[in-house]
Amino acid sequence: MPNESGDAELRYIVSDLGATFGKTGGVIGRSRNDPADYVKTKFIEKVKNNRVDFNYNGKRKEVFQDITVEQAKWLGNILGRLSDQQIADAFKAANYSGSDVQMLTAAVRRRINELNALPALARAAKDSAR
């Protein structure tokens, strides 16, 4: 789609937000559109050999494998530019209740903070391996 200057511009659409915010897992043990489960689910399992092991067991698990600390930190830096209001607005637009908006906004912010704290986590993991 062309932007105001006539250059091509990529746009991305999330079409099934509810399927995203629950507990990850296979067919058994997974929940869909359950903010309380999303909040309770661990985001990062560990950092080992400069790779981030995410707690993800859903489809296309390979997408989450072999991600370096630097790559995850890069994403955390970009996501960290979002204000809490912008994150909340996304959940409001998806018609979540006020309490779910607050819960999900806080959980997303915590996960962004985890990404941004990864260099320290990686150093701590390296130090404990010595």
pLDDT in tens, 6-61: 778 777 666 555 556 766 655 555 666 788 888 888 899 999 999 999 988 777 78
Q: Which amino acid is at 95?
A: N
For residue 21, which of 98, 118, 70, 91 has the smallest C-alpha distance? 91
* Mean local confidence (pLDDT), 63-83: 94
Confidence of residue 79 (pLDDT cuts 50, 70, 90): very high
State yes or no: pLDDT of 117 exceeds 90.
Answer: yes
State yes or no: pLDDT of 98 exceeds 80.
Answer: yes
Tell me the domain boundaries of the chain.
Answer: 17-129
* Strand, coil or helix: 94: coil
* Mean local confidence (pLDDT), 120-124: 58
As a whole number of Å, the CA-based R_g of the chain is 17
